[in-house]
Structure 1
Amino acid sequence: MDGTGGHFRSHVEEILDALAKDPGREALVHHDRRVSAGELRGLVHRMARALRSRGVRRGQTVTLLSGNLPETIAARYAAGLLGCAVNHLYAGLSADVHADILRDVETGTLIADPAHRERAADLARRVRLDRVLLLGAGTGTEADLVTLAAGESAEALHGEARPQDICTIRHTGGTTGHPKAICTTFGQWATIGPDWTEEAEVRLLVCTTLAHAAGLMADATLHHGGTVVLLDEFEAGAVLAAVERERISHMFLLPPLLYQLMDHPAIDRTDTSSLRALTYGGCASSPARLAAAVRRFGPVLHQFYGQNEAGGISMLLPEDHDPARPELLRTAGKAMEGVEVAIVGPGGRHLAPGEHGEICVRSPHVMEGYWKQPELTAEVLRDGWLHTGDIGFLDADGYITIVDRLKDMIVVVGGHVYTVELEDVLNSHPQVLQSAVLGVPDANLMERVHAAVVRTPGGDVGEAELRALVRERKGAMYEPASLSFVDELPLTDAGKPDKKLLRARARAAARPDAP
């Protein structure tokens, strides 16, 4: 019930209703495949029935290990239609981390695409699962969800989700090395996402993982009658070709991917005039590069600042992307509609414009909490405000500027690296006495993972061996971009590794001729 006596309709049902309005329109494009709205809607209902026939029920957790496929979107909606919590894994993490996440959220069903068949089989050996399903080409012990769905009815299925049910579970790191699961309800999800109701036809290009912001934008696109064009991964030349070929109007990129697009040799001979909204976010950006992007693409840039815990926080709109006003390009824009932002100092005091403190957020999109971690939830959700862990300030006009992070998190392409987790891996080597991991901005202000390592007396472990250890334990995403060996770690007055000094040293080593 929705509290008014009527049936609660989840965002999945709203999207399916939108698909039903014009079943012949093009909804998804993937390589040579063009999937109509009616075909996608039918596949969702068929998959939901197939999942239900295999014992999947409301309130259970369904985990996806799948790329940017039409079947990935259909499986996500099918699980949501049954009222399940959906947990979409980043593919770049190690098997150990994947297994920890599956156990943490008590996954009963793992759905993988054929590209991840071996990892799915490995996880099934490590973790007790009720069922493993493949999105095509299932054989032997692996059931093929696509084949199972083909034998089911495409008639509309009544949604089973309730507003208070967990809809999505996203993972972030923790100081103990154990992932934190961020929970959002179906009731909250109904209000999340950009409103493109008044826009002309939206053609969204998805070239980053559906497990992140691109998935949210895909939902909004399908809800408002648009088309989603799926690329398997980001490759600048392929993205430019798709923008021109498919007349793309919207897309999302991390800043370093935007820079790669601009630096590609095909940029000046590619027609990008169809672009109306190029959204970027996820890490710091260079005002100089943003100004160049405005000059190249026109007034279409939107900066998005948000967190998994907080949802969307602020936007820097196209009219604020003025190359003549670089001070605005250094900000994260103004708070989004329905979002309150406060800068909080010691003792919880709200600070005046210009004063630096922790950025705190209050909105309907703030997470319900961390999965089965009430103490940790209470640390960040206090007095109705979410404490983001970011340090910044508000100016007199309401623009937010982020200056630093309280949390030791490094944003990289494909996900997030948590420094304590990586330090734990490095320190586990018998010839490593101590380590400190930090993010070092490159020329484009994209953070790169750097590790400073102190060897044990007489130790001779090298960079290659430590890189291999990290890849094995945590996956390629955690592998340091640079690594230095030091006699000792400099300490702050409080006795903690002085990462500010280490960062300055690493930057100087990377650019020895810099002033």
Structure 2
Amino acid sequence: MPWEGNIARSPLYNPPSVPQGVTLIEQLIIKNDRLRQLGDQPYLTVVGTEEDSTLTFSSVEPRVRRCASALRRRGLRRGDVVCFYAPNHLEYVVCNLGVVACGASALLVPFYAGEHLATFCMREKPRFLFTTAAFFNEDVRATVKKCPSIEQVFTFDPCNDDGATPVADFDKDDGTEFPNQADLSPSDVATIFLSSGTTGEPKGIEHTHASLLAVIQSSMEQASVGVTPFHLAHMSGYFTHILRLQHGGHCVMAPSGELLSLLASVEKYKAAAMWCTPRELVPLARDPELTRYYQLGSLVAIAYGGSHLGDGLVDQIRKKLPHINFIIQVVKPGTWECVGPEERGELCVRVPYLMKGYRGKPELTEASVQEGFYRTGDYGWVDEDGWVFLLDRVKDLIPVLGSDQTSVTYVSPSEIEDCLFEHQGVMTVGVVGVPHPEPNHHQIPKAFVVPVLHGSLTVQDLKDFVSSRLSAECQLEGGVTFVDDIPMSMAGKIQRNILQSL
């Protein structure tokens, strides 16, 4: 029985054996015999518009050593911060590992979050900025001028700007100033990720050497080929690359949000695993031609995240790709505070690779982490066997007046979306809560729908469809609006705040 009081333990959860007193670079680079055993086999491939670029296992260690040594000569020390703002690039990985080897923290600003670059640079005071020649535009130059802490800008490719130095200069270093890892601590912050910012300004999420090592040790060996559209500044993209580096797999990074490129990469590299978001999975489920056009027989698993995906869409993909063991990776062990099996509530988890905290926000960290349990903000339940079922985000729930006309019932927008996805006339959909026309009546559900092409779908069709399948609280009393697209973040999350403003 996996339940212990109010704590449920997943039957698959096995606490990892995390090396003690070891830094991330010691584990990934110095003590990783696979780098030498696999030699010229590809470890990382970045899919390009014209051609792909690849980094081999044998080239990783010498390049990271030269990079770290070069940065050390330029004064980078333990506790410093270095900012990365660029698209996926082979040099991104090399320089990131070089920065971490120096004991500095890598501030990873996603390439699609440029509006937050200046804010985080002013706050974190990075010594260096890594980017590309194309991204070193007027806005980035203005940020550099506003942040006196930035001593130097490095570009991953050749740059004609006098204010930037190509990282190719690092290859001239002999590597003799590579930092002694014994001078660092596993509790040092290695990376600072940015949250998605769906509820406001993004937060800095700190991960230490120890928590990243726990990610590696907590995951099954991934020695196969895996294709992902996630950016290296996204935790999923970052974790994918370090797992492949540790376990001897091949990580293929396809452009974000480009389904055809993702599927073409699966076919080209005969990938066994594919990571994606609803941005890619919804059209994969809906378009009858995609799985016939691309050879996807090598796939054995699809891992997805970003937001909820209904069982109906999962079943459609299973029918198209029957050989796939479809997995949804969210969290491992979970606990519902003060509720038991099958009861819905907010999921709290305790895992060895939990973040250190929200950067510079101790009050938020204290509110989110209590006695080692992290409030995920996910709404769902745990069954008798300890399996975790995620339904929605707590912040997205719609408070509606209950059937007794006095109590408040929380309706999951994803539950309504799942229902609408079953209608063959619906391509994609987003549901939000809108104000009730009468005061003190909380909210009512409203759907924004992208219909399939050449359809004759009506608002009443969809209202009747939902009425015949869901409870009274889930009815589309707020109406239905047909739109050309559902706004989604680069991480594949529906931007419900934008829908509510339409």
TM-score, reference length from structure 2? 0.72
Correspondences of 1:364-513 after superposition (within 5 Å): 364-407=352-395, 493=440, 498=442, 500-501=443-444, 503-504=445-446, 512-513=459-460
> How far off its partner does 1:398 sit?
1.8
Aligned pair partner of 2:232 in 184, 205, 210: 210
Q: Deviations over 1:482-502 (max 9, x none)?
A: xxxxxx8858749xxx4x42x
- Structure 1 residues 267 and 56, CA gap change in structure 2 (3 angstroms): same
> How far off its partner does 1:191 sit?
1.0
- 1:352 is paired with a residue whose SS is coil
Counterpart AA for 2:353: H
Q: Which residue pairs with 1:136 in the alignment?
A: 157
Aligned pair partner of 1:343 in 329, 332, 336: 336
Q: Which residue pairs with 2:56 in the alignment?
A: 36
- Structure 1 residues 506 and 295, CA gap change in structure 2 (3 angstroms): closer
Q: Determine if contact 2:368/2:374 at 8 Å carries over to the other structure.
A: yes
Q: Determine if contact 2:343/2:381 at 8 Å carries over to the other structure.
A: yes
Correspondences of 1:239-388 after superposition (within 5 Å): 239-262=262-285, 263=287, 265-297=289-321, 298-305=323-330, 313=331, 336=332, 339=333, 341-344=334-337, 350-388=338-376
- Structure 1 residues 447 and 376, CA gap change in structure 2 (3 angstroms): farther
Q: Which residue pairs with 1:309 in the alignment?
A: none
Q: Which residue pairs with 1:146 in the alignment?
A: 167
Counterpart AA for 1:512: V
- Structure 1 residues 264 and 35, CA gap change in structure 2 (3 angstroms): farther
Alpha-carbon distance in 2 for matches of 1:272, 1:174: 34
Q: Deviations over 1:194-245 (max 9, x none)?
A: 767656x411223221222022111101111122223233422222222122
Q: Which residue pairs with 1:172 in the alignment?
A: 195
- Structure 1 residues 173 and 36, CA gap change in structure 2 (3 angstroms): closer
- Structure 1 residues 270 and 176, CA gap change in structure 2 (3 angstroms): closer
Residue segments in structure 1 that go unaligned for 5+ positions in a row: 1-5, 306-312, 314-335, 345-349, 410-437, 453-487
> How far off its partner does 1:294 sit?
1.7
- Structure 1 residues 388 and 231, CA gap change in structure 2 (3 angstroms): closer
- Structure 1 residues 391 and 230, CA gap change in structure 2 (3 angstroms): closer
Alpha-carbon distance in 1 for matches of 2:431, 2:64: 40
- 1:386 is paired with a residue whose SS is strand
> How far off its partner does 1:116 sit?
1.1
Alpha-carbon distance in 2 for matches of 1:273, 1:67: 29
Q: Determine if contact 1:105/1:181 at 8 Å carries over to the other structure.
A: no
Counterpart AA for 1:302: I
Q: Which residue pairs with 1:93 in the alignment?
A: 113
Aligned pair partner of 2:40 in 24, 28, 40: 24
1:104 maps to 2:104: no
Q: Determine if contact 2:189/2:206 at 8 Å carries over to the other structure.
A: yes
- Structure 1 residues 141 and 446, CA gap change in structure 2 (3 angstroms): farther
- Structure 1 residues 93 and 511, CA gap change in structure 2 (3 angstroms): farther
- 1:20 is paired with a residue whose SS is helix
Counterpart AA for 1:283: S
Counterpart AA for 1:282: G
1:14 maps to 2:27: yes
Q: Deviations over 1:308-338 (max 9, x none)?
A: xxxxx1xxxxxxxxxxxxxxxxxxxxxx2xx
- 2:127 is paired with a residue whose SS is strand
- 1:117 is paired with a residue whose SS is coil
Correspondences of 1:192-211 after superposition (within 5 Å): 192-193=215-216, 201-211=223-233
Alpha-carbon distance in 1 for matches of 2:120, 2:65: 28
Q: Determine if contact 1:214/1:252 at 8 Å carries over to the other structure.
A: no
Q: Determine if contact 1:85/1:166 at 8 Å carries over to the other structure.
A: yes
- Structure 1 residues 489 and 110, CA gap change in structure 2 (3 angstroms): farther
Alpha-carbon distance in 2 for matches of 1:120, 1:11: 30
Alpha-carbon distance in 1 for matches of 2:130, 2:431: 31
- Structure 1 residues 377 and 491, CA gap change in structure 2 (3 angstroms): farther
Alpha-carbon distance in 1 for matches of 2:270, 2:197: 41
RMSD of the alignment, in Å? 3.3
- 1:232 is paired with a residue whose SS is coil
Q: Determine if contact 1:358/1:392 at 8 Å carries over to the other structure.
A: yes
Counterpart AA for 1:396: E
Q: Which residue pairs with 2:490 in the alignment?
A: none
Counterpart AA for 1:270: Y
> How far off its partner does 1:173 sit?
6.3
> How far off its partner does 1:268 sit?
0.6
Counterpart AA for 1:27: Y
Counterpart AA for 2:157: G
> How far off its partner does 1:26 sit?
2.0
The structure, 1 or 2, with the larger RCO (C-alpha pairs under 8 Å, 6+ apart) is 2
- Structure 1 residues 177 and 270, CA gap change in structure 2 (3 angstroms): closer
Alpha-carbon distance in 1 for matches of 2:313, 2:99: 41
> How far off its partner does 1:376 sit?
1.6
Q: Deviations over 1:270-319 (max 9, x none)?
A: 221211222111211021121121222223321011xxxxxxx1xxxxxx
Alpha-carbon distance in 1 for matches of 2:61, 2:341: 49
> How far off its partner does 1:105 sit?
2.8
Q: Determine if contact 1:63/1:86 at 8 Å carries over to the other structure.
A: yes
> How far off its partner does 1:382 sit?
2.2
Alpha-carbon distance in 2 for matches of 1:144, 1:449: 48
- Structure 1 residues 508 and 90, CA gap change in structure 2 (3 angstroms): closer
Q: Which residue pairs with 2:133 in the alignment?
A: 114
Counterpart AA for 1:265: E
- 2:97 is paired with a residue whose SS is helix
Residue segments in structure 2 that go unaligned for 5+ positions in a row: 1-18, 398-412, 422-426, 452-456, 465-502
Q: Determine if contact 2:431/2:448 at 8 Å carries over to the other structure.
A: no
Size of the aligned set, in residue pairs, is 404
Q: Deviations over 1:370-398 (max 9, x none)?
A: 11221121111223322222232222222
- Structure 1 residues 403 and 208, CA gap change in structure 2 (3 angstroms): closer
Alpha-carbon distance in 1 for matches of 2:198, 2:240: 30
Q: Deviations over 1:90-111 (max 9, x none)?
A: 222243x221122233322211
Q: Determine if contact 2:88/2:231 at 8 Å carries over to the other structure.
A: yes
Q: Determine if contact 1:135/1:145 at 8 Å carries over to the other structure.
A: yes
- 1:271 is paired with a residue whose SS is coil
Q: Determine if contact 1:15/1:222 at 8 Å carries over to the other structure.
A: yes
